[in-house]
Structures are given as C-alpha cells and as structure tokens.
Amino acid sequence: MRTLRGSRLSVLSLVLAVTAVACGETVEIPDISGENGADAAPSADAGRPPGDRDAGTTDSGGSRDASASTDASTDARDAGEPLDASTDAGPSDAGSSDASTTTDASDAGPGTTSLRIYAGGYQTCAVRGRAVYCWGSNDFGQLGFGAISADVTTPTKVGDFDVLDMGLGYDGSCVVRAPGNVYCAGRLYGATSRLVASGFSRVSHGRDHACALANDGTVWCWGSNASGKLGRGTFGGPESSIPAQVQGLSGVQVVVAARTHTCALKLDKTVVCWGGNFDGQLGIGLSGGGNDRNVPTVVPGLTDVVTISANAHHTCATKTDKSVWCWGGNASSQLGVGDALDRTVPTRLTGFSAEVAVAGSTFSLARSGGAIFTFGSNTNSELGRGAVGTSPTPAPIVGLDQVTFADAGYSHACVVRQGAVSCWGDNGSGQLGLGDKANRAVPVTVTLP
C-alpha cells in the first residue's frame, strides 16, 4: 500500500503554525479520511490520492504548456531523502511557483542534450538531460540539498534522476519523479526531500501552497488555505502537507499555484480559478477580498486556451491563435494593456501575439517566434532591457532570439537559448547563478558545471 508522508519544521514566529505529520511518521492513505480535519482527504476512491488506486494515464499537454514523460520507476523510502538520491532513475523537467507558473517544453537543439530552466520565488533550477542544478535562496532548505544554508549563488548539482515536473516556491519546492512520485523540501516539509504522494504528472508550488495534477486529470493541493486557494470549499484552517482533492474538478491538463490563488487549464481549453481575488486575478469580473472563491470557478468567456501562468497579483494565458490575455493587478502595468488599471476579466493585448506568456510578480514576459518581449515594472531590472522605466506594453529584448524555454521568478527571469541558460533581473539571493548578488539589467549567460 502506498503512503503519504509529511513533516514538521520549526519556523519563524511570523509564519503560521504548521499542522503536519511528524518527521518519519507514515500515514496510510485509507486512514486519513475523516480524522484530521483540514488534513483529511475525502473518503472512498474519489478522495484518495491517485497513487493508492488504479488510474488510467492521462497525457497532460499544454504549457504550463504541458508535456510530461513517464519512464523508469521510483520506490518510496521509509525515511526522507535529499533530492540528490541518484537511485531514482529518470529525465528531468521542472516548473515554477509564485513566480510564474508557466513553462514551455523545449530542446536545446539538434545534437545537444535537452536543457530546461525553471524560476520560482528567489531561486532557479536547470535540468540538462538527467542532471539537476539549483541555486538561489535556501533559507528553508527548499533547494533540495538536504540542509538549510546561506544563499547559493552559483548553479550547484542536486543530482541525476528522472523528473517529470518541478515547482519552485518561496519557501518550498516540489519535484515529480518518474513514475509519478511527488517529493518536496522546504518550510512545510523539512530540508530533506520527502515523499508527499504518488500517481501525479505535474506540480506547481505557490508562495505557501502547492498543487499537483494526477494522472486521472484530478487536482490535489496542500499547504496554506488562506483565501481558499486549496479549493476545498473552506477558507483558512491549519496548514497541511497532506494533499486533498480539489472539489468538483476533473479533466485538467495544467494547474498553476500562485501567491494567493490557483488556476487550472482543462482539456476542453477552458480555465477555472479559485482563491484570493483582491486584484481581480481570478478573472470572474469581480475584485476585493470579499470576492475570493474557495472552489474552482469558471473564468467566463475564456476559451481555446493553450497556456496559463499566474503570479502574485495577475494571471496570463495564450490561445490557439497566439493571442495573449491577462487580468488581475496592474499597478505596474504588468498586464501589458497600455495602462496601469486593474482588469477583473481577461483582456487581450492588442496587436501582440505569442506562443507563451509568463507572469512574474510585477512584470511579465512572452515568447513570440523565439524572441522575448517584456512589460511591466523594471524596478529590479526584470525587463532585461537595460535602464528603462515601466513598460506598459510588450517590447523586445534586443538580441535575445532563438529562445526555446522561458520562465520568471518573483523579479527575475531566465531563458534557454542555443543550448545555454541566460538570466537577468533581481539577484538579491543569488538567483541569477552568477556568483554574486548584483542585479543584471540585461541577459547574462549562466555557466552550468
């Protein structure tokens, strides 16, 4: 029988107390129903994490952009283990968090090893073949090295293993290892990576919550339920590291966990969102704390969506016709619609098209035909266009072309271009991987070991 594991970690007094399972304690899946309050999953098969029941394989495509591979096998360990446990075989793929949660599949090019980059919060990870490298903030052990440490300013190898997806948050990170086991490290889990659940293909980590996509198209979330962002039909309650199924949601191909809200792209190319809506980031035509939603709510009129991204205050999506749509907070012009007014419904960026749009905190970027366009705040040089001011509409980073993969953290961004990684923006935690903590106003090549 498969099991779920959680961990307890002492945290700063400013952080809500964690309700979780003590380190090393094993919780049998059938036994968690109805006994742990907010920690409990719904009863019967419909409420048990998919790793404990038979489920067909669902290919979750999209971008996040989703393309996930499954091969090799991984067995759960009795105790926690660092992310570098090389006994877990397989290919790596990762994702982001309260920093953008949009990624798009890429290849480093003919004759080269696949290379992908993932940014989240104040950290970054790169995947080259089966090798995983991470750098940036590690104050809760979220980089997965097995210990809390000072900021890591250069790419440092975590290990060699198969990863189907990765979600990077502010104080935590999660990895889906083949054939679908979710391991997490950080404040809620401990500095040593621990198995959270099995039977998943995708994961996304927000500021203090995470969600994973099961092979059967259902979504399971855990962590903080502030503003109802876990989708359990309630607001608040104790934090939990035990996944519980999002109510009334199936047929999903991508899920993104942001700072206060969560969104899912369904197989029918519609979008549902739930959680905090203070800035209109749910896209339901309303804003303000009184309009939060604790269950998935359809974003009206938004169809034919192929990618979805969410961050602290806003959400962006692209459609099959490559049109770009954003909504939510716009105080820094991060929606790219030409002004600084919030939008409570999806709003099209006039005269602009892109394959993928990625939401940072107060900025956004988009990949269009291999070029990168940025818009919004440039307070931390996150636009990558030198010493420019706020940009209310998309403008290209000159000379940055042939980009195959792009992602954004809170105030930094990274891309893969011609088999190499380049990053720019905020570097206060060493998240650019350049060996120092100085911001960069233009893309700079990152050297992987």
Spans of the chain below 50 pLDDT: 1-48, 51-63, 66-112
What is the per-residue pLDDT for 232? 97
Enter the pTM of the model: 0.80
Report which of 170, 163, 181, 119 is spatially closest to residue 365, judged by C-alpha positions: 119
Domain count, the chain: 1
Instruction: Say if residues 46 and 53 touch (Cβ distance below 8 Å).
Output: no
Q: According to the model, what pLDDT value does residue 289 have?
A: 82
Asked whether the bond before 30 is cis by omega within 30 degrees of 0, the reply is no
Amino acid, single-letter form, for residue 240 = S
Cα pseudo-dihedral 47, 51, 52, 55, rounded to 10? 80
- Give pLDDT, residue 414: 99
Q: What is the CATH number of the domain that holds 399?
A: 2.130.10.30
Res 280: pLDDT: 99
SS (H, E, C) the chain: CCEEECCCCCCCCCCCCECCCCCCCEEEHHHCCCCCHHHCCCCHHHHCCHHHCCCCCCCCCCECECCCCCCCCCCCCCCCCCCCCCCCCCCCCCCCECCCCCCCCCCCCCCCCCEEEEEECCEEEEEECCEEEEEECCCCCCCCCCCCCCCEEEEEEEEECCEEEEEECCCEEEEEECCCEEEEEECCCEEEEEEEEECEEEEEECCCEEEEEECCCCEEEEECCHHHCCCCCCCCCCEEEEEEECCCCCCEEEEEECCCEEEEEECCCCEEEEECCCCCCCCCCCCCHHHCEEEEEECCCCCCEEEEEECCCEEEEEECCCEEEEEECCCCCCCCCCCCCCEEEEEEEEEEECCEEEECCCEEEEEECCEEEEEECCCCCCCCCCCCCCEEEEEECCCCCCEEEEEECCCEEEEEECCEEEEEECCCCCCCCCCCCCCEEEEEEECCC
- What residues make up the domain containing 324? 3-53+60-446
Looking at residue 64, its pLDDT comes to 60
User: What is the C-alpha to C-alpha distance for residues 156 and 159, in angstroms, rounded to an integer?
Assistant: 9
Q: Are 23 and 47 in contact (CB under 8 A)?
A: no
Q: What whole-number distance in Å separates Cα of residue 76 and Cα of residue 197?
A: 9
